[in-house]
């Protein structure tokens, strides 16, 4: 039972990353690699602020703002300097490695003696697993509701339309460059918030903790879409959150079966590749069945 609670709790903490990746990958139709830098950026800012004596919630908000700034930088490179989105994200990601080292002052910053949002929640009498689960659920539900509300507004609809059909949205007098920057801002803000929560839960921030986060986010998005559908934007948000939990469950299962932890990145990459190829495999299978029945 403890393993189930821990798996769901971890899935909820990483669900913010998955939502952030969904906003760029599906809503804006951009493969943004900034997340590999903004995730540890959020952890670094939150850890540094906690060590400096700030309240954990203030540290999380500070991490979110730092992530937003990184998204704006990528958006500026992409829209104003006309650097391809993929390359712009890579450039920001590389730059953030040095920025994160500057913020923390070293490669790893422990939080052993610091109060975090989870230690504060422990004062209500819950054990560690349930505390992470409750805090993660509250934050994820709040973020999902705010995203659902925002993307239902005129401004949010313009962001979604920019990803679907930028030519049409330009014809309606909307500045697509601003919409792209806004989408990247929101995405990386959520990713950095996820990094801040994960760092507080793990008890440290590390400059290398962002390696592979884009693949983890994509795995959560793809798994959620395949298993739970994409009928509406609300359904997509729920699918992404559940996809993050399912991904963590799959990881827990393969670890229990004896897979070496060093192979997890390879396993995740293969899982994402299979999930992305499912539509093609399904079409070929249906075509094969039709040929056999004839």
Asked if the 2-264 domain carries CATH number 3.30.1490, the reply is no
Low-confidence ranges of the chain (pLDDT < 70): 1, 292-294
pLDDT of residue 31: 84
- Give per-residue pLDDT as tens, 42-91: 999 999 999 999 999 999 999 999 999 999 999 999 999 999 999 999 99
Full-model pTM:
0.92
pLDDT at 124: 76
Give the helix, strand, coil percentages of the chain, each rounded to 5. 80, 0, 20
Residue 119 is predicted with a pLDDT of 87
CA distances from 190 to 105, 129, 197, 239 (A): 24, 23, 11, 17
User: What's residue 1's pLDDT?
Assistant: 67
Q: What's the token pair of residue 107?
A: 């490669």
pLDDT at position 150: 95
To the nearest 10 degrees (0 to 180), the angle between helices 85-104 and 35-51 is 20
In whole angstroms, how far apart are CA 166 and each of 29, 59, 70, 75, 291? 11, 36, 23, 15, 40
* Domain range list for the chain: 2-264
């Amino acid at each position: 039972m403890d393993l189930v609670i821990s798996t769901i709790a971890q899935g909820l903490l990483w669900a913010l990353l998955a939502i952030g990746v969904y906003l760029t990958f599906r809503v804006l139709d951009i493969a943004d690699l900034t997340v590999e830098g903004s995730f540890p950026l959020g952890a670094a800012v939150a850890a540094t602020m906690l060590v400096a004596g700030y309240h954990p919630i203030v540290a999380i908000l500070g991490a979110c703002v730092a992530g937003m700034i990184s998204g704006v930088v990528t958006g500026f490179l992409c829209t104003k300097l006309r650097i391809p989105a993929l390359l712009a994200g890579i450039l920001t990601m590389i730059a953030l490695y040095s920025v994160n080292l500057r913020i923390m002052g070293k490669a790893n910053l422990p939080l052993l003696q610091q109060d975090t949002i989870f230690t504060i929640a422990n004062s209500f009498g819950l054990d560690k697993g349930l505390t992470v689960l409750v805090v993660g659920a509250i934050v994820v539900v709040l973020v999902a509701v705010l995203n659902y509300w925002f993307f239902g507004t005129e401004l949010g609809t313009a962001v979604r339309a920019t990803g679907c059909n930028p030519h049409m949205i330009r014809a309606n007098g909307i500045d697509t460059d601003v919409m792209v920057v806004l989408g990247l801002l929101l995405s990386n803000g959520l990713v950095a918030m996820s990094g801040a929560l994960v760092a507080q839960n793990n008890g440290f921030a590390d400059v290398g903790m962002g390696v592979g986060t884009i693949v983890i986010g994509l795995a959560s998005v793809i798994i959620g879409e395949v298993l739970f559908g994409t009928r509406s934007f609300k359904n997509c948000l729920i699918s992404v959150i559940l996809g993050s939990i399912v991904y963590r469950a799959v990881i827990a299962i393969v670890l229990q079966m004896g897979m070496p932890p060093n192979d997890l990145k390879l396993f995740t990459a293969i899982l994402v590749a299979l999930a992305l190829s499912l539509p093609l495999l399904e079409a070929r299978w249906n075509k094969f069945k039709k040929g056999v029945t004839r």
